[in-house]
Structure 1
Amino acid sequence: MEYAIGLLSDPAAWAALATLIAMEIVLGIDNLIFISILTNKLPEEKRSFARRLGIGMAVVLRLALLGTVAIIVGLTAPVFTAFGHGFSWRDMILIAGGLFLVWKATKEIHHHVDPPEEGDMFEKASAAPSVAAAIGQILILDLVFSVDSIITAVGMTPHIPIMVVAVVVTVGVMLLAADPLANFIARNPTIVMLALGFLLLIGTTLIAEGFGAHVPKGYIYTAMAFSAGIELLNMFARRAKKKPSTTELH
């Protein structure tokens, strides 16, 4: 009880909590983009359920990992050395997660650029995942991001309750934003390709991080924000062209 009261009365703890929440929300954008693209391929009546179930199971996974924070932090110790770089379990997890993202994004881009023929039922069936498959892929990616974010969080605060509150608040924001973001992506086909490009960028960054090449997150998210801003301008321009002019009406 005294420990909790001490945290509540400590300005540094509140500052750490606010910083962690902001960091988790930013990192959660990657997850939401992936979840949106993945669940939008499901039958419409199952999409919202799959998003909420995936996010709910992801928070359980993340909270369980917080309970093993000492083990997670230990994953940064080098396991073997290759090409002059000591690879830790964290590095291998990041590389595996990055490869998974690059593979998934490349597969989805191929599906959009070269869609299956009308009569190719096998391709259509394989392109539409089941709810269980979608949830499984969401959990795989969340495991990768969870390990990285927990290691980062430990560097910001040693207090587990602060990390738990940050995770719960972030998940609440993700639950609120999941359906609107997914619906926005579904209504705008060009946004899908942009989002897949983001996943390729994030996957490549994870692989680079695994090989010891640190890429400042600010550069990544600035590039993503700039690209999203340009795409929004393109959307406004397309809508303006579709509107009938006043001269045509008269």
Structure 2
Amino acid sequence: MIELLSSPEAWAALLTLTALEIVLGIDNVIFLSVLVSRIPEPRATRARQIGLALALIFRLILLTLLVWLIGLTAPVFSIADKPFSWRDIILIAGGLFLIAKATHEIHSEVEARDHAPEPGLADRAFFWVIVQVVIVDLVFSIDSIITAIGMAQDIEIMVAAVVIAMVVMYISSGPVARFVAEHPTTKMLALAFLVLIGVALVADGFAFHIPRGYIYFAILFSASVEFFNVLAKRKRAPQR
């Protein structure tokens, strides 16, 4: 451990892996922000805290199962000479879940109607938000940890990078969730990105890699346009 603290290579690996884990965590933060926007405060904050805590726990548990994780990339069956591993299966299932969930949420937003709140609806909504967060956390955790294994050799560096990335995600998740909840057009944009991310996960499962740089550039560009759109609306509001 002392040797790692004095090693420039270890610090470089930590910074690189932390940055990568933060970027990979963007998908998780977007999904979590969309989910909690459907439940009122203070349940939304509690659901977000539980979701991020579970994400950290999943990542740390998976880091302790390195041998098993590496085995996830071994083929378990083939279809038309195309081998599939457990990692591929999980990515495909997780991607399809994201596509289905985002499409359902888009439909709910478009067909929104005013209804009287049903008894126990808040409790059921909170429960299902946590269930969906667990599913998506598991998918993103496996992809994230396998990436970490490929980039670093020391478990201490992997754990430190994951913890730092989760702290950054926790700090940023609150403002992101509030912004999404306050601006419906931003929420629709986030849902569209979830569909795109789901497609990328399914493609990865079929060994067709879509460079994440393209997806994150599209997210950054669209978010920048939406930011100026929101800013323009605020400037015009007092004049009405």
TM-score between the two structures when normalised by the length of structure 2: 0.93
| Paired letter, 1:163 | M
RMSD: 2.0
2:102 is the counterpart of 1:99: no
State the match for 1:21 in structure 2: 18
For each residue in 1:137-179, what CA deviation from the matched residue of structure 2 results, as whole angstroms up to 9, or x when unmatched? 1121111111111111111111111110111111111111121
Give the unaligned 5+ runs of structure 1. 246-250
CA apart distance, 1:19? 0.7
Residue 209 of structure 1 corresponds to which residue in structure 2? 204
State the distance in 2 between where 1:12 and 1:148 align: 24
Deviation string for 1:41-62 (max 9, x for gaps)? 1221211111111111221111
1:174 aligns with 2:153: no
Which residue pairs with 1:190 in the alignment? 185
Pair 1:138–1:78, CA change in 2 (3 A):
same
Give the whole-Å Cα distance in 2 for the aligned partners of 1:13 and 1:55: 26
Paired position in structure 1 for 2:133: 138
> What is the DSSP-based 3-state SS (H/G/I as helix, E as strand, rest coil) of the residue aligned with 1:44?
coil
8 Å CA contact 1:42, 1:129 repeated in 2: no
Question: Cα offset for 1:130?
Answer: 3.0
**Residues 138-157 of structure 1 mapped to structure 2, 5 A cutoff:** 138-157=133-152
1:20-39 map, 5 Å: 20-39=17-36
- Name the SS for the 2:42 alignment partner: helix
From 144, 147, 160, the counterpart of 2:155:
160
CA distance in 2, matches of 1:102, 1:208: 12
Aligned to 1:218: 213
Give me the whole-angstrom Cα distance separating, in 2, the residues matched to 1:209 and 1:129. 33
SS at match of 2:225: helix
Larger radius of gyration: 1
CA change 1:54–1:96 in 2 (3 A) is same
Q: Which moved more, 1:82-91 or 1:183-192?
A: 82-91
Counterpart in 2 of 1:114?
Answer: 111
- Report the residue type matching 1:94 in the other structure: L
Alignment identity in percent?
A: 51
Summarize the Cα distance change of 1:70–1:239 in structure 2 as closer, same or farther, 3 Å threshold: same
Shift of 1:220: 0.9
* Mapped contact 1:41–1:129 kept (Cα < 8 A): no
C-alpha distance in 2, partners of 1:237/1:166?
Answer: 38
What is the Cα deviation at residue 241 of structure 1? 3.0
2:237 aligned residue (233, 236, 242): 242
The answer on 1:227 being equivalent to 2:212 is no
Q: Give the drift of 1:128.
A: 8.1
State the AA in 2 paired with 1:27.
L
Q: Is the 8 A contact 2:102 2:192 kept in 1?
A: yes
Q: Could you report, residue by residue, the CA deviation over 1:79-126 in whole angstroms, capped at 9, with x for unpaired residues?
A: 11113321111000000000110011001000000114536959x94x
Shift in alpha-carbon separation, 1:232–1:128, aligned structure 2, 3 A: farther
| Per-residue CA distance 1:195-222 (angstroms, 9 max, x = gap) | 0011011001000110111111111101
- Does 1:58 pair with 2:55? yes
SS in 2 for 1:81: strand
Cα distance between partner residues in 1 of 2:55 and 2:160: 15
Amino acid at match of 1:147: I
The letter for the 2-side match of 1:71 is W
Structure 2 regions of 5+ residues with no counterpart?
none
